[in-house]
């Protein structure tokens, strides 16, 4: 079986040695380049399967190297690039991703984190290598539910869609509460503060499948849950710098058909990590002006991050509520199709919340229940492979 070949581009001999050792131990074949021009030459000659690219390099920097590689390969091929940087701010990240990187890592990083990212990219771009690194192929779909504004119903849709995917489609589903500070899945699903949460995952010395299994909660509705920290103070234990979310998602997608993650509107490091790891981001919105403004900004940011339009889809919640803005108005303001609609039914929604029973179970016959099942059926048919391919094409607006 083919062994994936990884090109390490770094001018520091210590880094080369450490990374080289880690990757060789894991069964990868390692190539090394010490500056930007050499990186281009080695890539041309050896055609590596993945490139680990330091930003600070002599001659050409990492951004320039990534840009040249992308320009050279055109739309016919795509070598996954992980940008390695010492800087943490989001601007740098956006710049790196714009230059053509598929992912990035901030130094110092843990070897497990590096390996998780390499495996996830190899699985995405070259599925034939997934087996060679001793992991089942990463086949589960990752769907993020992103609220363009607070209170638009993101949690309601994420929970009910997750349950409907399990019940209606018979799939294995895990739901992650990505609202780290104020996650409210415990309330929506009638679970106490004593239940284990993502904090129990990140404080452990190693994050692996056995650990996750011991922390996930099986809910009566049929889905498994990874709950948010029980209090806002403990939320910061989930570290953006160590890419905890990305590592967890990567493990979950190996065991479930669907990984559903509920996140809020912040475009901070943790959320950007979730977004980057998602096959599709469902942007949940309502038809009002402040929401439209946010959606426009979010669509712009996502396209800057290189997310093709197939990977970002709009969901209009409470679509039948009168707001003075029609779907047509909203679509023309956004210059984007609203892909899905979920009807307005406050009574069913709020009763479900207050009783802790998802309405797709407790009120499956209601208009709202049917509307979410309908949404889920469309989603289950989504050709994510195609969304991915669209994503490789140059971003258009």
Ligand X SMILES: Nc1ncnc2c1ncn2[C@@H]1O[C@H](COP(=O)(O)OP(=O)(O)OP(=O)(O)O)[C@@H](O)[C@H]1O
135 near 255, Cβ under 8 Å? no
Nearest distance from C-beta of residue 14 to Mg ion, angstroms:
44
What character string, x for contact with ligand X (CB under 6 A) and - otherwise, covers 160-179?
Answer: -------------------x
294 near 265, Cβ under 8 Å? yes
Site for ligand X in 323-352 (CB under 6 A): 342, 344-346, 349-350
Nearest distance from C-beta of residue 151 to ligand X, angstroms:
4
What character string, x for contact with Mg ion (CB under 5 A) and - otherwise, covers 241-260?
Answer: --------------------
367's contact among Mg ion, ligand X, none, with CB below 5 to 8 A by partner kind, is none
278 near 261, Cβ under 8 Å? yes
When asked if residue 353 is in the footprint of ligand X (CB under 6 A), the reply is yes
Site for ligand X in 32-71 (CB under 6 A): none
When asked if residue 197 is in the footprint of Mg ion (CB under 5 A), the reply is no
When asked if residue 120 is in the footprint of ligand X (CB under 6 A), the reply is no
Nearest distance from C-beta of residue 152 to ligand X, angstroms:
5
Q: Name the segment binding Mg ion (CB under 5 A); options: 75-83, 92-100, 153-161, 336-344.
A: 153-161
Q: How many other CB atoms sit within 10 Å of the CB of residue 397?
A: 8
Which are the contacts of 266, defined by CB distance < 8 A and separation ≥ 6?
A: none
Site for ligand X in 365-384 (CB under 6 A): 368
Out of 120, 135, 155, 317, the only residue in the binding site for Mg ion (CB under 5 A) is: 155
Report the residue number, 40 or 284, with the smaller CB distance to ligand X.
Answer: 284
When asked if residue 245 is in the footprint of ligand X (CB under 6 A), the reply is no
Out of 150, 192, 324, 394, the only residue in the binding site for ligand X (CB under 6 A) is: 150
When asked if residue 153 is in the footprint of ligand X (CB under 6 A), the reply is yes
341's contact among ligand X, Mg ion, none, with CB below 5 to 8 A by partner kind, is none
Closest CA to 51 of 61, 65, 37, 64: 65
Q: Name the segment binding ligand X (CB under 6 A); options: 5-13, 78-86, 148-156, 189-197.
A: 148-156
Report the residue number, 219 or 255, with the smaller CB distance to ligand X.
Answer: 219
Q: Binding residues for Mg ion, per CB under 5 A?
A: 154-155
Which positions lie near ligand X, rule CB under 6 A? 147, 150-156, 179, 264, 317-318, 342, 344-346, 349-350, 353, 368
């Amino acid at each position: 079986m083919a062994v994936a070949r990884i090109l390490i581009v770094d001018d520091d001999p210590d880094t080369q040695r450490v990374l080289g050792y880690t990757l060789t131990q894991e069964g990868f074949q390692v190539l090394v380049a010490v500056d930007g021009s050499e990186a281009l030459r080695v890539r041309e000659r050896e055609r590596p399967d993945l490139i680990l690219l330091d930003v600070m390099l002599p001659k050409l920097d990492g951004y320039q190297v990534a840009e040249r590689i992308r320009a050279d390969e055109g739309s016919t091929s795509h070598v996954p690039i992980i940008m390695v940087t010492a800087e943490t701010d989001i601007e740098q990240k956006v710049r790196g991703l714009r230059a053509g990187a598929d992912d990035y890592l901030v130094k110092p990083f843990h070897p497990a984190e590096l390996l998780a990212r390499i495996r996830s990219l190899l699985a995405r771009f070259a599925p034939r290598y997934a087996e060679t690194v001793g992991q089942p192929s990463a086949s589960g779909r990752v769907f993020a539910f992103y609220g363009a504004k607070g209170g638009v119903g993101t949690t309601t849709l994420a929970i009910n869609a997750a349950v409907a995917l399990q019940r209606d489609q018979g799939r294995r589903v895990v739901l992650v509460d990505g609202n780290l500070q104020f996650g409210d899945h415990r309330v929506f699903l009638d679970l106490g503060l004593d239940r284990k949460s993502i904090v129990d995952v990140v404080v452990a010395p190693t994050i692996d499948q056995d650990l996750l299994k011991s922390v996930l909660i099986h809910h009566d509705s049929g889905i498994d849950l990874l709950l948010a920290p029980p209090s806002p103070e403990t939320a910061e234990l989930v570290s953006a710098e160590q890419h905890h979310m990305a590592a967890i998602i990567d493990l979950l997608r190996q065991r479930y058909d669907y990984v559903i993650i509920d996140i809020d509107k912040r475009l901070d490091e943790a959320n950007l990590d979730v977004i980057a790891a998602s096959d599709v981001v469902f942007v949940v919105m309502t038809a009002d002006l402040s929401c439209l403004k946010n959606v426009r900004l979010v669509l712009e940011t996502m396209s800057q991050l290189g997310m093709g339009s197939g990977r970002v889809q709009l969901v209009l919640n409470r679509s039948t509520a009168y707001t003075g803005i029609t779907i047509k108005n909203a679509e023309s303001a956004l210059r984007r199709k609203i892909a899905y609609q979920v009807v307005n039914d406050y009574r069913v929604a709020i009763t479900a919340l207050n009783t802790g029973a998802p309405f797709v179970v407790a009120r499956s016959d209601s208009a709202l229940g049917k509307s979410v099942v309908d949404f889920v059926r469309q989603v289950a048919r989504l050709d994510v492979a195609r969304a991915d391919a669209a994503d490789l094409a140059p971003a258009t607006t």
